Homo-oligomer: A and B are copies of this chain.
Amino acid sequence: MEKQATIKDIARTLKISTSTVSRALRDTHDVKQETRKAVMELAEQLNYQPNQLALHLLKKQTHTIGVIVPNLDFVISTMVKGIDEVALEAGYTVMVCQSNESYGREIVNTKRLMDSLVDGFIVSLSCDTMLVDHIKKIQDKNKPMVLFDRVTSALNAPKVILDNEEAGFLATQHLIEQGYKRIAILSGPKKLELSNNRMEGYLKALKQNNIKVDKDLIVYCDFNQDYAYFATKELLAMKRRPDAIFAIADKMAIGAMLAIKEKKLNMPNDIGLVGMNNDPSTRLVTPTISTVEMPAFELGKTAAKMFIEMMHSDKDMNDEQIVLRPKLIIRESSLKIVGSK
């Protein structure tokens, strides 16, 4: 309707200076009770709201956090919820930008947000990201930044991640305990450290159980259902096909499941399957799919807390790294020996 009232309007009608109004509105010091009251009342009446834009310029901060995520699937949007919660509490607003797993898009988004719009970043890398110069630019401009979930050792920054090696180990060890011998892994893009780490866990479990690694059982695959479906079809067409599959993300496990069903193979008897992330759909499908839970909400909260701490302290936190623990969830797709844990 009408224009937003400013501090000047109050000053003018009350015939006092803007500085006094400003002080009355917050200081409480150096202002007569009477004046203060008058100012407060008029402010109320005019529905005065301080102009944040002016404050941003003055204080050189916006109390806004830029959150860059590869997409907004169930797990990531849960993380974002965690970030949101902590940020709101601390008085920050969150800007979420999806890079759609695209390197170029990630760069554009970063640039957009960087130009004085946000105070800092909380970032999870896209699959597609190979160079991290655009992220380094953030650090060059001295803006605090925390990496979470999909991180890279190419960047010296505080990180919040899952113990991915442990996750890979848990899943594989479980399959071994269930008596599976030829365990394939549907891994993610090699660029993604997270997928390499999960694979290391896989390899570690094999080694601990004296199982020889078969390179043919290691498949690198895009982080999506369709790709995993086709990759699994190929795996199942092998002469000596695997008798279990560990997919490093539930999306891929779903793709694998579809391929397995198409081949009329029975889970868990003919073939075992374990995914990762505890996506809700893994509980819904038949058979239900075993998975490794990642504490997504907690991870988001932790990342945001770290960011806030970084904002408020001056010490160098680039070496800090918080590692959360995964949890194995056993369901029908891999539970061959009933009664075993």
Query: Which residues of A line the B interface, CB within 8 A?
Result: 1, 4, 49-54, 56-57, 60, 62, 64, 72-74, 77, 80-81, 84, 88, 93-98, 100, 108, 112-113, 115-117, 140-142, 254, 280-281, 284-286
Contact call B62/A53, Cβ cutoff below 8 A:
yes
C-alpha gap A325/B118 in the complex (Å)? 39
C-alpha gap A140/B288 in the complex (Å)? 51
- A264 nearest CB across to chain B (Å): 14
In the complex, besides A88-B108, A93-B113, A281-B281, 11 extra interface pairs with C-beta distance below 8 angstroms are A51-B115, A52-B115, A54-B57, A72-B77, A72-B81, A81-B100, A84-B97, A93-B117, A94-B97, A284-B284, A285-B285
Which residues of B are found within 8 Å of A84, using beta-carbon distances? 97-98
C-alpha gap A281/B50 in the complex (Å)? 47
- Beta-carbon nearest neighbor of A142 in chain B: B1
Which residues of B are found within 8 Å of A54, using beta-carbon distances? 57
Contact call B93/A93, Cβ cutoff below 8 A:
no
C-alpha gap A50/B111 in the complex (Å)? 12
Candidates B96, B108, B286; contact of A96 at CB < 8 Å: B96
What are 23 A-B interface contacts by the 8 Å CB criterion? A1-B140, A4-B116, A49-B116, A50-B115, A51-B57, A52-B115, A53-B53, A53-B57, A53-B62, A53-B117, A72-B77, A72-B80, A72-B81, A73-B77, A81-B98, A81-B100, A84-B97, A93-B95, A94-B96, A95-B95, A254-B284, A281-B284, A284-B284
Which residues of B are found within 8 Å of A108, using beta-carbon distances? 88
C-alpha gap A51/B77 in the complex (Å)? 31
- A314 nearest CB across to chain B (Å): 16
C-alpha gap A57/B50 in the complex (Å)? 12
- A87 nearest CB across to chain B (Å): 11
- A308 nearest CB across to chain B (Å): 17
Which residues of B are found within 8 Å of A97, using beta-carbon distances? 84, 93-94
- A99 nearest CB across to chain B (Å): 11
C-alpha gap A56/B52 in the complex (Å)? 10
The 9 residue pairs across chains A and B that have the minimum distance between CB atoms: A72-B77, A286-B286, A53-B57, A281-B281, A52-B116, A96-B96, A53-B116, A53-B56, A52-B115
- A93 nearest CB across to chain B (Å): 5
C-alpha gap A140/B49 in the complex (Å)? 14
Chain B CB count within 10 A is highest, among A98, A140, A142, for A98
- A96 nearest CB across to chain B (Å): 5
Which residues of B are found within 8 Å of A141, using beta-carbon distances? 1, 4
C-alpha gap A141/B1 in the complex (Å)? 5
C-alpha gap A64/B280 in the complex (Å)? 33
C-alpha gap A112/B254 in the complex (Å)? 40
Which residues of B are found within 8 Å of A142, using beta-carbon distances? 1
- Beta-carbon nearest neighbor of A285 in chain B: B284
Which residues of B are found within 8 Å of A81, using beta-carbon distances? 72, 98, 100
Chain B CB count within 10 A is highest, among A4, A77, A94, A108, for A77
- A227 nearest CB across to chain B (Å): 15
Which residues of B are found within 8 Å of A113, using beta-carbon distances? 93
